[in-house]
């Protein structure tokens, strides 16, 4: 799926004005922030932790580096990166949603992550950082919620240092039709009911299921990263393509 260049975009299966989507997505994550980690474990049966560990293993992050965990939410990747980069490095946990950022800040401080982590409320489409700042940028399960993904990829490219890399971990398109059917049934029948029981908010999880279907597939996102300037772009399907990890470099 390519980016829509007029003034409308998709919010799940709805067509909305681009300015409206930002507010609608914000409402979703304000609603789910407090229970976000619990729901992630339930929805994925804990597998999201494996996907994130794999992303960290593929990131090449080293001691002393500067990392941007974009749409970092409750800080799962930031916590690991903080320990890897050490006191000489820095991790910026950035999220557009204040509620998610507050949950992430509290969670990380509770587990003793202080000193080398900065918290920034930021829109991925226009990052408030100077050019060539970061060794690695990650965005895990956040790109599909961005209104203008092309703008976000260009903004990420700008703030990466030459030689830096981007990793995009995101729900994608299952490789097998049988898996796709099971996944669709689970997403549209089970997830909203979980959301209703755990967060009293079925609608937000209905949106999240729909947003996955509207997200560009693996090859389309690969092409979008190339267009933004990234080189050696590749992707790896995880769990049969339910999730894909895209990687690209700035040279």
Q: Residues forming the annotated binding site?
A: 74, 95, 123-124
In angstroms, the CA 103 to CA 15 distance is 30
> CB-based burial of residue 131 (10 Å sphere; 0-12 exposed, 13-18 middle, 19+ buried)?
exposed
In angstroms, the CA 72 to CA 50 distance is 16
Nearest of 24, 25, 60, 8 to residue 142 by alpha carbon: 25
Which element (helix H / strand E) includes 90? strand 90-95
Q: Do 59 and 136 meet the contact criterion of CB atoms below 8 Å apart? A: yes
Q: Residues forming the annotated binding site for S-adenosyl-L-methionine?
A: 74, 95, 123-124
Nearest of 23, 6, 1 to residue 214 by alpha carbon: 1
In angstroms, the CA 101 to CA 95 distance is 6
In angstroms, the CA 29 to CA 21 distance is 12
DSSP, res 240: G
């Amino acid at each position: 799926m390519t980016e829509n260049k007029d003034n409308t975009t998709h919010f799940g299966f709805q067509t909305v004005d681009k300015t409206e989507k930002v507010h609608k997505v914000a409402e979703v994550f304000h609603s789910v922030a407090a229970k976000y980690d619990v729901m992630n474990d339930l929805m994925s049966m804990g597998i999201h932790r494996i996907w994130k560990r794999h992303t960290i293993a593929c990131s090449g992050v080293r001691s002393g580096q500067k990392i941007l965990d974009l749409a970092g939410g409750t800080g799962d990747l930031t916590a690991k990166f903080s320990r890897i980069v050490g006191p000489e490095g820095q991790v910026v946990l950035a999220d557009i949603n204040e509620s998610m950022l507050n949950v992430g800040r509290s969670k990380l401080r509770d587990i003793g992550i202080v000193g080398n982590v900065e918290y920034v409320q930021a829109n991925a489409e226009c990052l408030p950082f100077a050019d060539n700042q970061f060794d690695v940028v990650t965005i895990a399960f956040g790109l599909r919620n961005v209104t203008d993904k092309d703008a976000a990829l260009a903004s990420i490219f700008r703030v990466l240092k030459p030689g830096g890399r981007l990793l995009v971990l995101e729900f994608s398109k299952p490789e097998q039709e049988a898996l796709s059917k099971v996944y669709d049934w689970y997403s549209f029948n089970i997830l909203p009911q979980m959301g209703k029981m755990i967060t009293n908010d079925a609608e937000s999880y209905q949106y999240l299921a729909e947003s996955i279907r509207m997200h560009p597939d693996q090859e389309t996102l690969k092409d979008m990263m190339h267009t933004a300037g990234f080189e050696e772009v590749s992707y790896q399907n995880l769990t049969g393509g339910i999730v894909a990890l895209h990687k690209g470099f700035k040279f």
